[in-house]
Chain A
Amino acid sequence: MTQAAAKGHKDSSLQSLVEELTGEKLSACYQCGKCSAGCPAAYAMDRLPHQIIRLIQLNQRDKVLNSHAIWLCASCQTCTTRCPKDVDLARIMDALRELALQEGRTAQESDAVVFQQVFLNWVRRTGRQFEGGLVGEYKLRTGHFFQDLGAAPKMMGKLKMIPRGIKGRQAVQRIFRKCEGPKNA
């Protein structure tokens, strides 16, 4: 039933879309709240993890995809590990972030999104993470120029200042192109 609904994304519910993306069964959640009780980031969230699931069940698309909560999940896997109904909530949070990103709904936690994007940009360019560039570009794009200056002297010794691409960086770039594509087919 949900599978059929999910075929045409336009009029399908958020629940069936998320279920299709993740292979998880959201209707299994009976709102016990164990995920929220153990979540180390819950204190900072506007909506708690179990509430996110409930809002998906109620097809409250805007409340879910515009929430801070989906971006504040640290992917620590505590909820996934403890869920008595075996719902992989951490995986669901991934899918929600992916959906929010596709719809440009990133303003709530833009610093976190920028960090992840800059992270991936360096992998795309060189095949590996370039921490010096990551820190520099993140500061440029967010305007947090003065962050962590105290740590700078020791950090400078650790960070490479010149990126070194791997031999297979073009293969990596093709991976990015195929995964990001015009649409994630």
Chain B
Amino acid sequence: MRGAEERMSTRIAYFPGCSLEGTAQEYNLSLQAIAPKLGLELEELEDWNCCGSTAAHTLNHKLAVSLPARILALAERGGYSSLVAPCAACSHRLLATRMALANNAGLRKEVQDIIEMPYKGTVEVKNILQVLMELGPDKIAAACSRKMTGLRIASYYGCLLVRPPKVVQFDDPEAPQSMDTIIKALGGTPVEWGFKTECCGGGFSMSRTDMVCKMTRDILDNAAFEGAEAFAVACPMCQSNLDLRQLNVNQRYGTAFKLPALYITQWIGLCMGLPARDLGLGGNYVDTGDAVAKAFAVPPEKKPPALSAAGAAVKA
């Protein structure tokens, strides 16, 4: 009986969201690959639907709370007390809905009628950084078999993981640190830079590519200026714009950025010694080979002594 209760409390509902089935499948792949090594039991939510994302809250407020409400109601029905949504847009919509329904009994009643399911608001929603931080950087490092050798990584949080603070209640909205802390524990060098939470243009990638390129260029520019060699991200749209659109930026502005953007789960997986293929590194548009090779190169001080020193050693 007690055992069952304990199991109930540690079960986490996994809400992958639509991107992780398609353009962000590397995020899903790498998370699934590292989860068992971290003791995370992710149970995919049965028959989940789309959260509606930006499209719903842009065009229809009622829809924007009803679609996520069905997801949360499904998790309640499944007996879960918490749910993890790796996509920042999904976790944001779920959190915003949770808050809107908690603060408005009338809306809560109306939405239950719309989704034809009871909704109590008992499921806690977490983004992936939150789950990782709850495990703690030490535990993550302990599950790894190798460390990075100081690769300079810019953690890019984008908008929806940290804003607005009232809704997401996670990290600092202007100067977040969680991903940097994890990167540091993995042996990387977190880059201090100014565009950690600047918007990449998100969902305008197709309809206003020109804007996304401008906004992404500003981000790339600042990261490069501060000496970043790669990015760590935790949002499918951030990844897509920093990576795929980096090619368009270089074309459009005549720049030569070469900054691969890897999901934080991919960086962790690499440190666990998992093969790049199992982590979906082949899905990146900007070549990841050089940065990854550099990240795990044997550091100079551990190399055999340099030639002159070796010569001296032989003589002695």
Contacts and interface: CB of A to CB of B under 8 A. Distances in A.
Interface string A134-158: 0100100010000110110011011
Given A75-B54, A76-B199, A175 B215 contact: no
B70 A172 contact: yes
Interface in B82-118: 113-116
A168 B206 contact: no
Contact of A158 (B67, B201, B283): B283
B234 interface: no
B289 interface: no
B206 A138 contact: yes
Interface in B162-219: 163-165, 173-174, 197-199, 201-204, 206-209, 211, 214-215, 218
Interface string A149-178: 011001101111000001111011011101
Contacts of B18: 128-129, 131
Contacts of A167: 47
A18 B11 CA distance: 41
A55 interface: no
B60 A98 contact: yes
Contact of B60 (A132, A166, A179): A179
Given A116-B55, A175-B66, A179-B62, A159 B163 contact: no
A171 B115 contact: yes
Given A159-B22, A171-B116, A111 B208 contact: yes
Contact of A120 (B48, B52, B198, B209): B52
Interface residues of A, number: 61
Contact of A175 (B70, B164, B208): B70
B22 A160 contact: yes
B21 A123 contact: no
A72 B211 contact: yes
Which applies to chain A's interface (DSSP): helix, strand, loop or mixed? helix
Interface string B16-49: 0011011101000000000000000000000111
A174 B61 CA distance: 16
B49 A168 contact: yes
B49 A127 contact: yes
A76 B61 contact: no
B65 to A, nearest CB: 9
B139 interface: no
12 contacts: A41-B201, A80-B163, A90-B164, A111-B207, A120-B63, A135-B206, A147-B206, A154-B283, A171-B116, A178-B62, A179-B114, A184-B60
